[in-house]
Chain A
Amino acid sequence: MASEPNPEATLAGGGPWLLAWRQLRRDRVALGFLALFVLIVAFVLAAPLWADDVAHTGPDKTHTLEKIDVNGEQREVVNREGKPIGPVWLGAGGKFFLGADGRLGRDEMVRLMYGGRVSLFIGISSALITVFLATILALLAGYYRGWTDTAISRTMDVVWAFPVMLLAIALGLVLAVGGLQIGPLHLSGGSIWIPILIIGGVSVPYIARPLRGQVLSLREKEFVEAAVAQGAGPLRIMIGELLPNLSSTIIVFFTLTIANNMLLEAALSFLGVGVQPPETSWGTMIAGGFDLLTSSPLLTIIPGTMILLTVLSVNVFGDGLRDALDPSSKLRLEAHAGISEPEGTAV
Chain B
Amino acid sequence: MARFALRRLIGMVAVLFAVSVLTFLIFNVIPNSDPAQRIAGKAATPPLIASINKEWGFEDPLPEQYVTMMRKVFSGDLISYFGRENVNERIVEGIPATFSLCFGAALIWMFFGILFGYLSAVRAGGLLDRALTVVAVAGISMPVFWLAAIFLNYLTYKNEIFPSGGYVEFTADPLQWANHLILPWITLAILYVGFYSRVLRSNMLDAMNEDYVRTARAKGLSERRVMSRHVMRNSLTPIVTLFGLDVGALLGGAILIEAIFSLNGIGQYAYESLINTDLPPIMAIVLFGAFFVVLFNALADIAYAYLDPRVKLGSSADG
Chain A residues in the interface with B (C-beta under 8 A): 154, 157-158, 160-166, 169-171, 173-175, 177-179, 209, 213, 259, 263, 266-267, 270-271, 273, 283, 286, 290, 293-294, 297, 300-301, 304, 307-308, 311-312, 315-316, 319, 331-332, 335-338, 340, 343, 345-347
Contact = CB atoms under 8 A, between A and B. Distances in A.
B54 to A, nearest CB: 24
23 contacts: A157-B15, A163-B286, A166-B253, A166-B282, A166-B285, A169-B270, A174-B33, A175-B30, A178-B30, A267-B143, A267-B145, A270-B146, A283-B143, A286-B143, A293-B153, A300-B149, A308-B143, A308-B146, A332-B202, A335-B125, A335-B208, A345-B217, A346-B223
Interface in B109-132: 122-126
Contacts of B107: none
B141 interface: yes
Contacts of A160: 293
Contacts of A331: 205-206, 209
A300 B274 contact: no
Looking at chain A's contact residues, is the secondary structure mostly helix, strand, loop, or mixed? helix
A99 to B, nearest CB: 17
Nearest to B125: A338
Interface of B: 11, 14-16, 18-19, 22-23, 26-27, 30-33, 122-126, 137-138, 140-147, 149-150, 152-154, 157-158, 202, 205-206, 208-209, 217, 223, 249, 252-253, 255-256, 259, 270-271, 274-275, 277, 282, 285-286, 289-290, 293-294, 319
A345 B223 contact: yes
A171, A173, A316, A338 pick with most chain B CB within 10 angstroms: A173
Given A178-B32, A286-B149, A335-B125, A347 B290 contact: no
B146 A163 contact: no
Nearest to A213: B319
Contacts of B293: 160-163
A270 B270 CA distance: 16
A163 B27 contact: no
A129 B209 CA distance: 37
A180 to B, nearest CB: 8
Contact of A335 (B22, B30, B124, B138): B124
Contacts of B124: 335-336, 338, 340
Given A158-B15, A161-B293, A286 B252 contact: no
A171 to B, nearest CB: 6
B15 A347 contact: no
Nearest to A309: B141
Given A165-B256, A166-B252, A340 B209 contact: yes
A161 B294 contact: yes
A329 to B, nearest CB: 8
Given A166-B285, A266-B146, A347 B123 contact: yes
Contacts of A308: 138, 141-143, 146
